[in-house]
Structure 1
Amino acid sequence: MALDALRPSPLVEQATERLRDQITGGQWGIGTKLPGETTLAKTLGVGRSTVREALRALAGAGLVQARQGAGVFVIATLPQEDWAAGMRRAAITDVYEVRMLVEVEAVRLAAARRTADDVTVIRAALRRRQEAAGEGDAPFVDADIALHATIVAAAHNPVLTSLFTEFRPVLRQGLIDMVELLGLRDAHSDPGADAHAVLVEAVAAGDPDAAGRALLEELERTRARLERR
């Protein structure tokens, strides 16, 4: 069964979707043995490790099952959940784990090191975030990230600032996906408004413990929602 070669990125997600489409579309019925990893890798234009990850994802969705010494077989033609949404949710959770490792400590440093000019810039970024609440999801997310970037910059650690800058595109996409998946702006156009105000005030007051706690609590609440969904 012919499969078109995939675009370069993101390979695992594309491979998973392509194979899932073959199964849910009826091309590979229940009980069918899938081609081997080498064959699938060649037809999809990816490496065997990518195929292996895609098959693991499909197994998690309840579509295929690996049988030792026999191969991988189709066991269902309908996923246990919306697998695309599930993969996005998992990716967002990964993003949030990184934020907890990096950004919570960054806001603590910012509270200890911020200058009067830093506070002025941070307060302006908070106002912009509030204004963006009346705009679309992408502008709102951009304003939210810009606020966090100003706080990270106030830590006055160039390595930390560079790290956040590199992480920013991944964070942006993760937040846009999260807003959509969780419907965060359905009931309130400015989710997390109070928590961000508390965060800014803690940084401005020079209180590292309060700043770190405010951000950690907000991130934990969101991560809990992702895991419950």
Structure 2
Amino acid sequence: MSATPDWFSETSPIQRKNSAEAVFDDLRSAITGGRIAVGTRLPAETRLAATYGVSRPVIREALRSLQTLGLTQTRTGSGTFVVTPAPSSDLSYSGYSARDLMEARPLIEVPAAGWAAVRRSEAEAEALMALCEAMDREEDPHRWVRLDSDFHMALAEASGNAVFAKIVAEVRDALMQQSGLVNMMASRRLASNREHRDIAVAVRDGARAEASRAMARHLGAVEEVVTDMIGPASGA
């Protein structure tokens, strides 16, 4: 008998606050560590939910991230299967590779943050701060990712540059997928909240240079996690 059934029988209910992150981390570690072998069909959502002591939506969120990472594949009518023990190096979201996003975002969002500090209206500054407050309160990973997306979109619009706003809107779905996976991989939600607030405060205060630096720090932290997943950019 393989080690996989034993591993599932030994898994205990999740106690940590963010259950989706905990389930994802447990399953990912088991796959990358070889405790769940390639070719294994994962138990159904209902069984996983009972095993971990969480709801089915929590399990669904974790499984979605495993698939985005390339570790599993869901086959209609058959279930979710482990397809590789290591994350895909050509990770992509909505047609954009993780590397494309990693290289392009600093060229767009860093200057956008700076211009937002110069051009934002009072209402836009207040909206950014309100989004920070909402992200601080939000515990649900899916809803948090939506707020994160709203923040970056609002910031691009506050820059007063239609090109920045159009580009961010175009890649918004990809950014949401990346954000969800990065937070699952590194439990970065609280750190990200602080980084977003630093950006919003600088924009509110009209501090162009600091707003740009704060955005650069935020994207740099995201890049560290992405690089851990897919490796450094070629030629870097």
Q: Give the TM-score taking structure 1 as reference length.
A: 0.57
- The reply on whether 1:87 has 2:93 as its aligned counterpart is no
CA distance in 2: counterparts of 1:112 and 1:198, whole angstroms: 16
- Map of 1:164 onto structure 2: 168
Change (3 A) 1:176 1:109: same
1:122 deviation in Å?
1.3
1:168 deviation in Å?
0.5
Answer yes or no: is the 8 Å Cα contact 2:149–2:176 preserved in 1: yes
**Residue 126 of structure 1: which of 127, 132, 149 is its match?**
132
Superposed counterparts of 1:30-41, under 5 Å:
none
Superposed counterparts of 1:108-147, under 5 Å:
108-132=114-138, 134-135=139-140, 137-147=141-151
1:130 deviation in Å?
1.5
CA distance in 2: counterparts of 1:83 and 1:203, whole angstroms: 36
CA distance in 2: counterparts of 1:194 and 1:224, whole angstroms: 17
- Map of 1:205 onto structure 2: 205
- Map of 1:18 onto structure 2: none
Change (3 A) 1:166 1:204: same
1:221 deviation in Å?
2.1
1:131 deviation in Å?
2.0
Answer yes or no: is the 8 Å Cα contact 2:121–2:158 preserved in 1: yes
RMSD: 2.4
Change (3 A) 1:177 1:88: farther
CA distance in 1: counterparts of 2:226 and 2:152, whole angstroms: 21
- Map of 2:186 onto structure 1: 183
1:199 deviation in Å?
0.8
CA distance in 1: counterparts of 2:163 and 2:108, whole angstroms: 11
**Residue 106 of structure 1: which of 102, 106, 112 is its match?**
112
Counterpart of 1:196 in structure 2: which amino acid? Answer: H
CA distance in 2: counterparts of 1:225 and 1:165, whole angstroms: 23
1:143 deviation in Å?
0.7
1:83 deviation in Å?
4.4
CA distance in 1: counterparts of 2:198 and 2:181, whole angstroms: 25
Unaligned runs of 5+ in 2: 1-37, 40-82, 230-236
Answer yes or no: is the 8 Å Cα contact 2:129–2:197 preserved in 1: no
Change (3 A) 1:173 1:228: closer
Q: SS of the residue aligned with 2:142?
A: helix
Change (3 A) 1:97 1:197: same
Change (3 A) 1:83 1:190: closer
Q: Give the TM-score taking structure 2 as reference length.
A: 0.55
* Identity %, equivalent residues: 22
Whichever of the two has the greater Rg, that structure is 1
Q: SS of the residue aligned with 2:190?
A: coil
1:157 deviation in Å?
1.9
1:193 deviation in Å?
2.1
1:220 deviation in Å?
0.9
